[in-house]
Each structure stands twice: as structure tokens, then as C-alpha cells.
Amino acid sequence: MELRGAVVVVTGASSGIGAATALELGRAGAKLVLHGRDPARLASLAGRTGGLTLPADFADTEAVSRVAAEVTERFGTVDALVNNAGIGWAGAFSEMTREQVRDLIAVNLTAPIELTRALLPALSPQGRVVFVTSIAGRTGVAGEAVYSAVKAGLDSFAESLRFELAGTGMKVGVVVPGVVDTEFFARRGRPYERRSPRPVPPERVAAAVVRAVRDGRAESYVPRWLRVPVAVRGLVPGLYRGLAARFGGS
């Protein structure tokens, strides 16, 4: 896909991976639609990229419909949708409130599915849909049971949609990051304190997202070695669970 002039929607662009992705797409000449929960940060990002800002909290499912309607009204056709918006929560599952479970599912799973459903009719014939998931959805993580579950669900949705769109010219991609150096961990309620693996910069994940949009890549891990635990889990699940129980955790 030629990025210059392409209309690209980026959700969760207020900070972290989303902001880094928007900056890289902006440098490539894309016309950006920037979603996020922080209007001030979005306005600052729009000043650097020339993007259109659509502040909204995707914990509210009606907000997803409003964003989709405004995008189609403004542009008509969308060339790429980057589903990046997400929230986290860390701690014992038994300590989660009903509201925390609801919001985690709404933002991380329901919103990207609904936004994709709403914008798919407007997607160009060679359009792209890219999902930023998580290694937690591939392997499971202690203390992040619901987060891992919704990211696994998003993975399955992306894979199924890829099969459904096969032969249409549209491409579905998934970017699977590990630990990323963003505000995510502070916001989830528990900082990242492990010595390894070391967090990667959000720009590194953003580069993978942009490649997925440009080249139509189906799957990328950041960093690449994350394929190893996923492979071990698939090939030798007993060994994986034993190692995860001993060394795992968030």
C-alpha cells in the first residue's frame, strides 16, 4: 500500500504505541484520523501530523459508533484501520470488580470488533486492518487473566476475519508486542519490575505496525524472539506450563 495520501485511522493514539505509530505514518504522508481518550494529547499530536482528532472513551460502546460515523462522513473511504486502543489491569482475578472486567472487555475486545464491523464497508479494495494484540493473549500471564483472555479473543477474531477476507484484496494483520516502555504499566495498577525481558521502545512496535499496513503482513512479533515461548507452548505444553509457573508473572 502507498502510504502517502492514504486515510488511516489509529485508535489509542493519545500515547504509547498509538502515538508512535501516528508519528511514523504522518512522516510517510498518510492522512490520519486520531482516536484517544486525552483531547489535549491528541491535539498536540495533530499539530505534529496534521491529523483529525476524535476523542472518545471506548468503554462506552456508543462512542465507537459515533467515531465510525464521523470517519465515514468526513472521508467516505478508509484505507487502513489500526486497532491499537487498550487498557490493562493487573492483580488477582478475585480482586477485580464487575466494572473493571466490563471495561477491560469493552475497550480491548468489543470496541475493535465493533469499529472494524462499522468501517469494513468503507474500507478500500486494497485496505488494511491491523490489530495490536499482546504476547499475553498467546501465552497467558499470571495476574492478568482477563487481559490475556480478551487479547486471545482479539487474536482469534483477526485470524477468522483474515480467512473471511481472503481473495478480496483486503489484508488483516496482527502485531504481537511483549513488554513495551509506555505508561501502560502504571495505568494498569502495577508497575513492571522484572529485570527481564527488558521493555522495548514504542517506536519499535510502531515500525512493525506501519510495515503491517504498508506490506499487508499477517503477523509480527516485537521482539521476534517471542515466537519461541509461543512455539514451546504449542509443541510441549506441559514443559511450558512448568516453566511459566516457575518463572512467569507480570
So which residues are the catalytic ones? 147
Q: Residue 51: pLDDT band by 50, 70, 90 thresholds? A: very high
* Statement: residue 242 has pLDDT above 80: no
Cis peptide before 202 (omega within 30 of 0): no
Q: Is 173 within 8 Å of 219 (Cβ atoms)?
A: yes
Predicted confidence (pLDDT) at residue 248 exceeds the cutoff of 70: no
pLDDT band at 197 (very low <50, low <70, confident <90, very high): confident
Residue 184 pLDDT level (bands cut at 50, 70, 90): confident
- Say whether pTM exceeds 0.85: yes
pLDDT band per the 50, 70, 90 thresholds, residue 193: low
- Rg for the chain, CA atoms, rounded: 17
Mean pLDDT of the chain: 93
E-strand ranges in 77-170 read: 78-83, 123-132
Please tell me the least confidently modeled range out of 32-41, 164-173, 195-204, 238-247: 238-247
- Report the sign of the C-alpha dihedral through residues 181, 182, 188, 189, in that order: positive
In terms of C-beta density within 10 A (0-12 exposed, 13-18 middle, 19 or more buried), how is residue 116 classed?
buried
Please state, in angstroms and rounded to a whole number, the distance separating the CA atoms of residues 82 and 131: 6
Q: Is the predicted pLDDT of residue 173 greater than 70, yes or no?
A: yes
Segments making up each domain of the chain, as ranges: 7-247
Per-residue pLDDT, 134: 96
Asked if pLDDT for residue 250 goes beyond 60, the answer is no
Query: 52 near 69, Cβ under 8 Å?
Result: no
- Give the least confident one: 6-10, 127-131, 246-250: 246-250
CATH number listed for the domain at residues 7-247: 3.40.50.720
Alpha helices in 111-144 (DSSP H): 111-119, 136-139
Comparing 152 with 243, which gets the higher pLDDT?
A: 152
DSSP structure class, residue 175 = E
Dmax over CA atoms of the chain, in Å, equals 52
Per-residue pLDDT tens digits for 7-20: 999 999 999 999 99
Backbone angles phi, psi at 34, to 5 degrees: -110, 115
